[in-house]
Amino acid sequence: MAKFQIQQASSTVNWTGKKVLGLHTGSINIANGFIEIENNNILGGEIQIDMASIVVTDIDDKKTHDEFLAHLKNDDFFAVDKFGTSKLVITSAKQIEQNKFETSGILTIKDISHPVNFISTVEVFTDFLHSLGEIVIDRTLYNIRYGSGKFIDNLGDKLIYDNFVLQFKLVGQL
C-alpha cells in the first residue's frame, strides 16, 4: 500500500455558489491529508480543509468583497470561528474507467457529517499522485440555510441555490 501525502502548495480547491442573479467563486486551502492506493485502487483517505482560508475571487470592489467574505465566515454560512476545519473521509472507490473512480466518502462541515459521492480521476506517477474531481454539496444538509428557498419564503431574486460545487486538484507525494 502507498500513502500519498497531499501537498498543500500544489493542490487547489475552488468553489462556486449560485444565486438567482448570478454566482460567486473562490478558493479554499487544504490543511492536510492523504490518499491510500494499492494496485491502482483507492483504499481510502482523508482531506482536511482550512475553513479560515476561504477566499472570494469574483468581487473586485474591496468593501463589497470584504463584507461578503465576512458573511461567508459568520454563522449564516460556515461559522469559521467555531468550525475551523471541514473534512472529507474517503470510504470507498470503484474504478469505472482507467484512472476514473466513483468515490464515496463522509463529508463533515460544521461538525455535521453526510455521505457524498463523486467522480474523480486519479493517476500515479512513481512517487506522485494527481487527482481531479468535482463534488456537488447541498449546503442545507450542513445547517447552512441562509437564503435557501427550502426554509425562507418569498426570496425572489435574493434566493441562493442550495447546491454549491467544489472543484479540486490534488497532488500527493509518497
Predicted confidence at residue 139, as pLDDT, reads 92
One-letter amino acid at 152 equals I
Mean pLDDT of the chain: 91
3-state secondary structure 64-125: HHHHHHHHHHCCCCCCCCCCCEEEEEEEEEEEEECCEEEEEEEEEECCEEEEEEEEEEEEEE
Predicted confidence at residue 173, as pLDDT, reads 96
- The residue ranges of the chain whose pLDDT is under 70 are 146-159
What does the DSSP 8-state code read for residue 21?
A: T
Predicted confidence at residue 82, as pLDDT, reads 97
DSSP 57-78: -S--SHHHHHHHHHHHHSTTTT
pTM here is 0.91
Predicted confidence at residue 126, as pLDDT, reads 86
- Structural domains present in the chain: 2-173 (2.40.128.110)
**Are 35 and 131 in contact, with CB atoms under 8 Å apart?**
yes
What does the DSSP 8-state code read for residue 158?
A: G
Pure H helices in 22-121: 62-73
Predicted confidence at residue 19, as pLDDT, reads 81
Predicted confidence at residue 97, as pLDDT, reads 93
User: Closest by alpha carbon to 20, among 173, 158, 165?
Assistant: 158
- 104: helix, coil or strand? strand
